[in-house]
Amino acid sequence: MVLKAVIFDMDGVLVDSEGFWAKAELDVFSSYGVQITDDLATQTKYMTTKEVTEFWHGKFPWENLDVPTVEQEVVSKVIELIQSEDCTMSGIQQFITVLKNKNYKIGLATNAPLRVADAVLEKLQIRELFDSVHSSEFEELGKPHPAVYLTSAKKLGVSPEHCIAIEDSHSGLRAAKGAGMRTIVFTNDDESIDFDLADFKILNFNAGLLPVFQ
């Protein structure tokens, strides 16, 4: 099948920001009396920010502030960390530039809110390379539901079977596969990562393009 579009996940692919979410959630939720444990935090790892905030509010209800307000506090904290810390995945700008020069449509499909995506694209200075940027906050369900990928393909004007998604998590790979796309798992040099759902694997963005793009 002819490949026409490449759709990137964001956290853990464009930027090494997974730890930022954990820190922001701990700082913000703890300030409202939430008692975060590793076991409970594991359950929220691949939720959207809205789902995470609702989860903790359900476990430890706070007063005076509504859930959306606290959610935006978390988002603002993550953006602050993205802007101030060195979190860019090595080689990502050049990798996307080469794909763009090969006339692939380029998309972003993330569970994170659009505010965070905007901050990441600004930090990496790659916004002009993207033909579509879409967040699960505009869908009823986030990944692993395929909605964010289906909408991304529609916005790109490319059928899902002509798209390939680059993801770092099983949840994200499930979403892309559910949308009918081929998939690449990005491991950030962790050779032990191997998902059966992935059609291809890439360790880092400095090793050149995979054969699928040649």
Active site residues: 9, 11
- The three-class DSSP label of residue 8 is strand
Please choose, from the candidates 123, 119, 181, the residue with its C-alpha nearest in 3D space to the C-alpha of residue 154: 181
C-beta neighbour count of 214 within 10 angstroms: 7
Longest dimension (CA), the chain: 56
Name, in order, each residue with C-beta under 8 angstroms of 137's C-beta and a sequence gap of 6 or more: 48, 49, 50, 113, 114
